[in-house]
Amino acid sequence: MFDLFLDIFSCRDNAWTRMDARVKLIIALAAIIFILLSSRTALPLVFFVFCTGAMLGLGMPPRLVLARLAGPLGIVFVLVALMAFTQGSTVLHSVRFGGFELLLREEGLLKGMLAGSRVLGAVSVILLLGSVTPAHKIFASLRWGRVPDGWVEIALLMYRYIFCLLEHTAEAVEAQKVRLGYAGARRSLSSVGTLAGIVVLRSLDQARQTHDAMMVRGYRGCLTFGPLPRLGRKDLATIFLAMLVIAVTWAALEWRVII
């Protein structure tokens, strides 16, 4: 669980990490916009394959990459299944489940595959961005991009205290295991409910302690970020070239649909 949020790979020295965080953020946002605008599964899947290959090329363990993609893959599976069985009129196959008959429809299946590919493409872009950019640089870039201060501060505090809550959760789980809290399905279900309550209470306690600590240190409604230098010509050229490649790829794939 700790490895899912670990950003140790973003601290390595390579061409990806040396790039300005603002450049990477702008390129990532442009990629996500074109993924959402795509009317075919080709472009999202291209980004998915590229970003997954880039993460593996950076030395990330395949098991960690798969673990980070497990949640989005589950969402895609549910999304495709729901749309395939609820939308459209052309029946491809029927499945009887108890007293019900489920109809697999072509239009819904195609729409679900498109939506699922968009989810995978956009998520893979975000995962690659987080793998090559430290979190504090992303937050500073968001502030530079005129994102509301409150949003940036909430995101910063959430990222900071995720690890504290994970540590509290791990300690509570170990204490439950020592007391045989997971011996049997009924006791396991009860322990999970108790664990959820413990995490919520500790998050509230941590929020109160953090607020008091920030007020003591002079917090007056806005965290201070240092100024960022202007983007150089090399950075601007990188943004322009990357966006041009993305736009040309999107236009080429969409042109096939028009033809």
pLDDT digits (tens, 9 = 90+) for 181-222: 888 888 888 888 988 898 888 888 888 888 888 888 887 777
Q: CA 136, CA 4: separation in Å to the nearest integer? A: 17
List pLDDT tens digits, range 143-170. 888 888 888 888 888 888 888 888 888 8
pLDDT tens for residues 89-134? 787 777 777 677 777 888 888 898 999 999 999 999 999 998 888 8
pLDDT of residue 258: 44
Yes or no: say if 47 and 118 are a contact pair by the CB < 8 Å rule: no
In which residue are the tokens 């109809």 written? 103
CA distances from 86 to 79, 108, 116, 119 (A): 11, 7, 16, 20
pLDDT band, very low/low/confident/very high, at 10 (cuts 50, 70, 90): confident
The Cα–Cα gap between 249 and 43 comes to: 8
Number of Cβ atoms within 10 Å of the Cβ of 139 = 20
Residue ranges in 38-133 assigned as alpha helix (H):
42-57, 62-86, 106-132
Q: Do 219 and 149 contact (CB within 8 A), yes or no?
A: no
Task: Check residue 106 and give its pLDDT.
Answer: 83
CA–CA dist 172, 194 (Å, integer): 10
Q: What average pLDDT score do residues 68-92 get? A: 86
Dihedral in degrees, nearest 10, Cα atoms 150, 131, 141, 221:
20
pLDDT level of residue 259 (50, 70, 90 thresholds): very low
Exposed / middle / buried, residue 89 (Cβ in 10 Å: 0-12, 13-18, 19+)? exposed
Predicted local confidence at residue 126, as pLDDT = 92
- The per-residue pLDDT of the chain, averaged, comes to 85
Q: How confident is the model at residue 237 (pLDDT cuts 50, 70, 90)?
A: very high
Q: Rounded to two decimals, what is the model's pTM?
A: 0.81
